[in-house]
Amino acid sequence: MKNDRSRTEDLDLTMKIINVLHVFLFTLMSAGLCERLHDEAYKLKMDEALLTFHNELPYNISVLYTSDYCYKCLYQPLATVGNKQQNVSVVIRTSFRLTLRILPVDTNSSLCSLSQTFEEAGHYSLRMRPSGLLNDVTCSFSVDKSPNNAYLPLLVAFLILAFAAVFWAFLPYIIRCSCTQRLKNHICCQESRHTMESEDATTEPSMHQNQPKSTRLKSLDTFRGFSLTVMVFVNYGGGGYWFFDHAPWNGLTVADLVMPWFVFVIGTSVVLSFSSMHRKGVPRLQLIRKLSWRTVVLMLIGFCFINYSPRDGLLSWSWLRIPGVLQRLGFTYFVLALMQTFSPHREIPLKEHHWWNPVQDVVLYWPEWLFITLLEVMWLCVTFLLPVPNCPTGYLGAGGIGDDGQYPNCTGGAAAYIDRWLLGDRIYWYPTCKALYHTTQPFDPEGVLGTINSIVMGFFGMQAGKILLFFRELNRSILTRFLVWALILGISAAILSKCTRDEGFIPVNKNLWSLSYVTCMGFMSFVLLGVMFFVMDVKKWWGGQPFIYPGMNSIFVYVGHSLLGFYFPFNWEMRFQDSHWEKLFQSLWGTALWVFIAYLLYRKKFFLKI
């Protein structure tokens, strides 16, 4: 009995000692442990910050917010903070500037407001306390933890790419200098010069002084490849930066530039290629069969890879979307190619002198201009005159909480109404405005009405092609006409948009492919193509590397990156999601792989054509 009692007492003593040790250890670690748990509870990701509200007022308060990028948007609830020294922490997005509004619960009288640009991984505090005067409130803002430099990865990547480009540009000179320091100086330099000349012969179009220039221009292939490379980069996430994603509604980002550039190049290529086939005597019926076949193939590819990929599982009609990028490109190509096939003039009579000589490349093609003008008039009439049920006529807004919440179901106005009428539910249900404007209606950025202005954009490219083709021996005239067209389109875009994002007559809007958007992109396209033409085809300072390689295999690269973009080695599950470092590396790595693949195909002389 005594032994059992002593064992019980020893066990109780042991348990007491263990409990004391637990309390002691917990006391030592409590501060650090609580801090660690707090950090884990609010583990921030890219473009996120932590904002804590400290309420020292004797009543509960509500915090509302709106994004300054959201046009006339209603304030949305962010947090409710209790009275008497209570605090609430919330995670907020840092992509756009936010305006906060503090007010008592169940009232509309604002106590204070704050407009602030928050930065990634920063910890902020907003304290509301009585000011000492009756009913007066003081709101003080402070930074508890300094934010990260979100643009440092972008700066480092830019410097590395710039260094690589400079090194590649000076590499031939470095090789030449090394040759002069060797005993076999003459032989070495002759071999390197012979190698460089042979490489130039394989990459340059056949443009000799004693022969007419080929319609295959380095600048055109490079412009196409540059547009495609940027497109691959933004489709792979663009490092997670908001300006490498599409704009929520009005305005421009880098992602909004690439598709119009690509359409512009399509128009230019149509003029050069079909004019070449006309000179070779290809019958018109054969041209129609060729352009029809290419259009059908482009559209079928668009249906296959946009609406379905192996990771989607078995084929299903539930996610079928009729419009798409390749569908729009295919139809635009079809219309432009038909116009060029039935074009009444093949050459501009430069030797004839008429009063219209300065604009003869427009006057002599008046049927095409008449057709394009009628198309644009139709777009304007439908956009601004078509009655849309329960929506104002001519509405161009995003709907949702925008425009003070007056038109929540009017996203896209007439453009969306026509798509729903013609295509039903087989359109895009997650437009770029959905997150910011809280929209509930589908809207397709590749819809029917926007395709009209896609044709207009391609027609500007056709005009550039005619200038390149018919003034091929007059480089100064080509550059002058490019500059004139750029000025005309740039001024038109400035007038239509009033040089503002949301207050213009017709805002610049990629979702709608608005007229101001097309003229703005036409201005940029003429400038970029003109600069590349001067640098590459006139002065021959640059061979177009590395962009010329994907530019000569554009269909392969575009379809390939769309189908394989979610698979290794182009993509992997990120482990560090709290900054842009890994995301930016992943986007650049995937893009560089496709440029390298295009280079290998170029070396093998494999070019996928339809």
Examine residue 367 and state whether it is found in any structural domain, yes or no. yes
Q: What's the domain range around 271?
A: 204-309+317-345+357-603
Examine residue 172 and state whether it is found in any structural domain, yes or no. no
What is the arithmetic mean of pLDDT over 391-405?
91
DSSP collapsed to 3 states, 293-349:
HHHHHHHHHHHHHHHCCHHHCCCCCCCCCCCCHHHHHHHHHHHHHHHHHCCCCCCCC
Structure tokens, 435: 């997150």
> First vs last Cα of the chain: how many Å apart?
98
Strand 137-145: give its sheet, edge to edge. Answer: 86-93, 48-55, 123-130, 137-145
- 216 and 72 inside one domain: no
CATH at residue 78: 2.60.40
Which of 150, 169, 193 delimits the end of a domain? 150
* Whether the Cβ atoms of residue 332 and residue 372 lie closer than 8 Å to each other: no
Strand partners, 49: 92
* Whether the Cβ atoms of residue 64 and residue 101 lie closer than 8 Å to each other: yes
Which pLDDT score, from 0 to 100, does residue 305 have?
A: 65
- 391 and 527 inside one domain: yes
Query: Could you give the maximum distance between any two Cα atoms of the chain, in Å?
Result: 130
pTM: 0.84
**pLDDT at residue 193 above 70?**
no
- 468 and 571 inside one domain: yes
> For helices 366-385 and 414-423, what crossing angle results, to 10°?
100
Strands 123-130 and 48-55: parallel
Q: Which of 123, 246, 438, 580 is catalytic?
A: 246
**Omega before 569 within 30 of 0, i.e. cis:** yes
Examine residue 262 and state whether it is found in any structural domain, yes or no. yes
Q: Is 54 left (phi over 0), alpha (psi -120 to 50) or beta?
A: beta
Q: How confident is the model at residue 333 (pLDDT cuts 50, 70, 90)?
A: very high
Q: Which region among 42-56, 206-220, 448-462, 550-564 has the lowest average model confidence (pLDDT)?
A: 206-220
Examine residue 160 and state whether it is found in any structural domain, yes or no. no
Which pLDDT score, from 0 to 100, does residue 32 have?
A: 35
Q: How confident is the model at residue 212 (pLDDT cuts 50, 70, 90)?
A: very low
Which pLDDT score, from 0 to 100, does residue 11 have?
A: 46
Structure tokens, 241: 């930066």
Examine residue 465 and state whether it is found in any structural domain, yes or no. yes
Query: What is the total count of domains within the chain?
Result: 2
- 146 and 213 inside one domain: no
Which of 150, 177, 212 delimits the end of a domain? 150
- 90 and 208 inside one domain: no
Q: Is 313 left (phi over 0), alpha (psi -120 to 50) or beta?
A: left
Tell me: the pLDDT tens digits for 155-171? 999 999 989 888 887 77
- 60 and 126 inside one domain: yes
Q: Which helix (H) or strand (E) holds 36?
A: helix 2-41
264 against 3, higher pLDDT: 264
**pLDDT at residue 180 above 90?**
no
| 278 catalytically annotated | no
**pLDDT at residue 595 above 90?**
yes
Distance CA 557, CA 222 (A): 14
Q: How far is CA 593 from CA 228, 233, 244, 586, 588, in A?
A: 13, 11, 19, 11, 9
Which pLDDT score, from 0 to 100, does residue 354 have?
A: 63
What is the arithmetic mean of pLDDT over 267-279?
88
Q: What is the SS3 assignment for 8?
A: helix
Which pLDDT score, from 0 to 100, does residue 42 have?
A: 59
Examine residue 556 and state whether it is found in any structural domain, yes or no. yes
- 222 and 114 inside one domain: no
- 341 and 481 inside one domain: yes
**pLDDT at residue 209 above 50?**
no
Q: Which among 450, 434, 563 is positioned nearest to 515, based on CA atoms?
A: 450
- 143 and 230 inside one domain: no
147-151 long-range contacts, CB within 8 A, separation 24+: 147/49, 147/94, 147/118, 147/119, 147/120, 147/121, 147/122, 148/119, 148/120, 148/121, 148/122, 148/579, 150/46, 150/47, 150/94, 150/119, 150/120, 150/241, 150/579, 150/580
Which DSSP letter does residue 384 get?
H
Which of 112, 132, 150 delimits the end of a domain? 150
- 388 and 512 inside one domain: yes
- 143 and 243 inside one domain: no
Examine residue 11 and state whether it is found in any structural domain, yes or no. no
Q: Which region among 226-230, 280-284, 333-337 has the lowest average model confidence (pLDDT)?
A: 280-284
Which pLDDT score, from 0 to 100, does residue 565 have?
A: 78
Q: Which region among 109-123, 255-269, 300-314, 488-502 has the lowest average model confidence (pLDDT)?
A: 300-314
Distance CA 226, CA 474 (A): 26
- 222 and 76 inside one domain: no
Examine residue 485 and state whether it is found in any structural domain, yes or no. yes
Length of the chain: 610
Which pLDDT score, from 0 to 100, does residue 571 have?
A: 82
